[in-house]
Copies of this chain bind each other. A is one copy, B any other.
Amino acid sequence: MNGVDAKHRLSVPAPLRETIETRSQTRELVLGPDEHSPCLIGYDITYFDRLEARLEEEFAADFGPGRSRKARSVFGATEHLKYDETGRIILSPLMREMGEIGGQVVFMGVGHHFEIWSPEQFLAQEGQDPRVVKLVTALLAGRTQ
C-alpha cells in the first residue's frame, strides 16, 4: 500500500515500473476511471495502443455515434502521466475524485493492466475474492507490504 502525500504525489511500486519500462521503453503510464468499479485503471502505452487497435477492429469503417460513445468511454477521461526516476506521479483532482482516492491506495495487478484502489472503497464492494479482501484488510490494519 502506498501513500498519497499532501502534494498528491504517489509512488508507483518499483516492480510495476519495471514492467512498464520493459514493455514500453518509457516512464509513462495511462490512468483512467474504471468502467464498473470505483477505482482507477492504469496501463503502459503499448496497452493503450492495443485498446485503440481493438476499437478500430470493432468498428472499422463505422464512424457512427456508437464508435464515439465507446471511444469516449475507453479514452475519454484518461491521463498520460510521466514519472521521474524516483517513480512518482501526481494525481489530479479529477483522478482522485473518479477513483474515490484518499490518503492511501493499493496497487493491484490484474494481468495486462493494473488497478488503483482506495482500500476502503475496495472493501466496500460486494463479491470480492475473500483472499484479496483479507490482503487489503491486512494492509489497512498496518500489517505492511
* A interface residues with partner B (beta carbon < 8 Å): 15, 32-37, 51-52, 55, 58, 61, 63-65, 68-69, 71-78, 80, 92-94, 97-98, 108-112, 115, 127-129, 131-132, 134-135, 138-139, 143-145
**In the complex, A45 Cα to B141 Cα: how many Å?**
30
Please state the number of chain copies in the assembly. 2
Q: Are A131 and B36 in contact (CB under 8 A)?
A: no
Q: Are B112 and A143 in contact (CB under 8 A)?
A: no
Q: Are A94 and B135 in contact (CB under 8 A)?
A: yes
Given A65-B37, A94-B135: A73 touches B129 (CB 8 Å cut-off): yes
What residues of B have a CB within 8 angstroms of the CB of A93 in the complex?
Answer: 138, 143-145
**In the complex, A78 Cα to B114 Cα: how many Å?**
13
Q: Are B145 and A94 in contact (CB under 8 A)?
A: yes
What residues of B have a CB within 8 angstroms of the CB of A94 in the complex?
Answer: 135, 138-139, 143, 145
